[in-house]
């Protein structure tokens, strides 16, 4: 039996590539001297795409592959994939939910504590020898005590963050596309209203046109001078320049970011700020979790080609 041809636009973990090479005829686009010419030469053969958040699977790419059946994404976020266009073409799109939920939620709480208590800045203080030369690190203005946490995007990860935050004594509010049944947390109809009711904003929302720069200067101002913003969703959700201005001018207290608008570039102005804690998109970056994500992506491909259905289809193609 012929192995289905799979296009791999960007590098994946070696353990995943090993299985893909074993079970499929793979086409690693990033290895080609002329990717466009190579894609033209194999377009008719491609039955599936093993994608990742760094890859762009837009309508143009999809339309170049007339026999494409499935796009299996390595990651829960799939804003780089035009899922609606795939649905119109009858192409399945899958992602890897659940398996990274707990790891990302842990990272979110870690970022929150680091930002509020200035842990990164105090570590730099120690490493620079200032504890010995200048005395104890100054008392921090920020604390978790009495904080109200507004979660923008109360999905699987948002709920896992909420459970952890409740254990720290935080009061939880949320905003999303709709009020959720069976959720006791106060719901706010828009993001500015959520920010005004809270002093801590946790961004867990997906990227895309609907959420681009949703956290803007007005939302940050509503959060207030004791405000803290944490983003483990997508960098595009926050207006980075507005955030930089707010941090510089004391409009808010601090920020913790695991994602940026133009990854892997983090703005130099953000890097220079002591009240910004910055991570290089490591929310789910443990071997344990990434292996689980890869396994689920492989399961989606295998069940599709063997049984004609997927394990975790995205909403646009689940019907």
Tokens of 78: 């799939």
What is 4-54 written as a DSSP string?
PEEEE-S---HHHHHHHHHHSEEEEGGG-SSHHHHHHHHTTTEEEEEE-TT
Tokens of 40: 């033209």
| pLDDT at residue 224, rounded to an integer | 97
How far apart are the C-alpha atoms of 247 and 263, rounded to whole Å? Answer: 20
- CA nearest to 273, candidates 254, 294, 301: 254
The tens-digit pLDDT sequence of the chain (319 residues) is 689 999 999 999 999 999 999 999 999 999 999 999 999 999 999 999 999 988 999 999 999 999 999 999 999 989 899 999 999 999 999 999 999 999 999 999 999 999 999 999 999 999 999 999 999 999 999 999 999 999 999 999 999 999 999 999 999 999 999 999 999 999 999 999 999 999 999 999 998 889 999 999 999 999 999 999 999 999 999 999 999 999 999 999 999 999 999 999 999 999 999 999 999 999 999 999 999 999 999 999 999 999 999 999 999 998 7
Spell out the long-range contacts of 34-43 with Cβ–Cβ below 8 A and sequence spacing 24 or more. 39/7, 39/64, 40/64, 42/5, 42/7
Q: Is 247 left (phi over 0), alpha (psi -120 to 50) or beta?
A: alpha
Spell out the domains of the chain, with CATH numbers in brackets. 5-99+288-317 (3.40.50.720), 101-278 (3.40.50.720)
Please, where are the H alpha helices in the chain? 14-23, 35-42, 59-63, 83-88, 101-116, 119-127, 130-134, 156-167, 191-197, 217-223, 240-248, 268-271, 287-307
* CB atoms inside a 10 Å sphere around CB 164: 17
Q: Which residues are catalytic?
A: 234, 263, 281
Residue 129 phi, psi dihedral angles, 5° rounding: 80, 10
List b or e across 295-314, with b for residues whose CB sees 16 or more CB atoms inside 10 angstroms.
ebbbbbbbbbbeeeebbbbb
List b or e across 267-282, with b for residues whose CB sees 16 or more CB atoms inside 10 angstroms.
beebeebebbbbbebe
Q: Are 200 and 226 in contact (CB under 8 A)?
A: no
């Amino acid at each position: 039996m012929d192995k289905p041809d799979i296009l791999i636009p960007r590098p994946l973990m070696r353990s995943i590539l090993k299985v893909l090479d074993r079970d499929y005829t793979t086409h690693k686009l990033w290895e080609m001297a002329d990717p466009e010419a190579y894609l033209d030469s194999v377009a008719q053969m491609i039955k599936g795409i093993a994608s990742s958040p760094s890859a762009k699977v837009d309508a143009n790419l999809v339309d170049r592959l007339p026999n494409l059946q499935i796009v299996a994404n390595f990651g829960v976020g799939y804003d780089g994939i035009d899922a609606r266009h795939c649905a119109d073409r009858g192409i399945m799109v899958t992602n890897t939910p659940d398996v990274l939920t707990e790891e990302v939620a842990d990272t979110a709480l870690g970022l929150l504590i680091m930002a509020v208590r200035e842990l990164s800045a105090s570590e730099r203080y120690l490493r620079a020898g200032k504890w010995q030369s200048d005395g104890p690190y100054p008392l921090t203005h920020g604390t978790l005590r009495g904080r109200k946490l507004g979660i923008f995007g109360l999905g699987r990860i948002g709920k896992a963050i909420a459970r952890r935050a409740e254990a720290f004594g935080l009061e939880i509010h949320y905003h999303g596309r709709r009020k959720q049944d069976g959720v006791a947390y106060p719901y706010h109809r828009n993001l500015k209203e959520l920010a005004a009711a809270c002093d801590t904003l946790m961004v867990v929302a997906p990227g895309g046109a609907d959420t681009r720069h949703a956290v803007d200067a007005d939302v940050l101002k509503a959060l207030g001078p004791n405000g803290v913003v944490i983003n483990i969703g997508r960098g595009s959700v926050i207006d980075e320049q507005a955030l930089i201005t707010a941090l510089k001018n004391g409009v808010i207290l601090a920020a913790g970011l695991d994602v940026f608008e133009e990854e892997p570039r983090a703005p130099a102005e953000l890097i220079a700020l002591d009240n910004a804690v910055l991570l290089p998109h490591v929310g789910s970056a443990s071997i344990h979790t990434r292996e689980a994500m890869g396994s689920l992506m492989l399961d989606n491909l295998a069940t599709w080609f063997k049984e004609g259905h997927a394990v975790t289809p995205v909403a646009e193609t689940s019907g």
